[in-house]
Amino acid sequence: MSEMRQHGRMTSAWVLDEDDAMELLAYLITAARTQLDEAAEYGPMRLLTAAHRLAGMIDARASAETRALLEGAVARLPLLAVPRDDRDGYTAQVDGACRAVADHLAARYGAEPTPA
């Protein structure tokens, strides 16, 4: 995919079309409403579900480096887990994905990687 940079930002075509963006928007808004009546532990699960959906939407149009992140750290995130059982393991897994995303963004935009 060719891309141009302007003020450090990618100016190529979006990786989501309007239908994909509306699907994700609807999911996030309805998940927020659902959270009002659900246990707090479901919040991270809803956000990770949205992350998986977004990853699936952009995978085919993403750069090779972003695809590697999506198919690696993001794909390994638990889709339906709630942080009740093995909270420390769950937290460590999400922390690892946060570091992978931060390192990917640092490499993409020329910043320093995150410390381990």
In whole angstroms, give the CA distance from residue 49 to residue 78: 9
- What is the pLDDT, as a whole number, of residue 113? 63
Is 5 a domain residue?
A: no
Contact (CB, 8 A) for 108 and 65: yes
61: in domain: yes
How far apart, in whole angstroms, are the C-alpha atoms of residue 42 and residue 35? 7
Structural domain boundaries enclosing 57? 15-109
Cα dihedral sign for 10, 16, 17, 23? negative
Mean pLDDT by 10 residues, the chain (116 residues): 51 79 94 92 90 93 93 90 81 93 91 67
Query: Percent of the chain, pLDDT > 90?
Result: 55
Domain presence at residue 70 = yes
Place of tokens 């490499």: 107
pLDDT of residue 9: 57
3-state secondary structure of 5: strand
Domain membership flag for residue 51: yes
One-letter amino acid at 79 equals L
Q: What's the structural domain count of the chain?
A: 1
pLDDT value, residue 47:
92
Q: Indicate whether this model's pTM tops 0.85.
A: no
Answer whether residue 2 is part of any domain.
no
Specify if 63 maps to a domain: yes
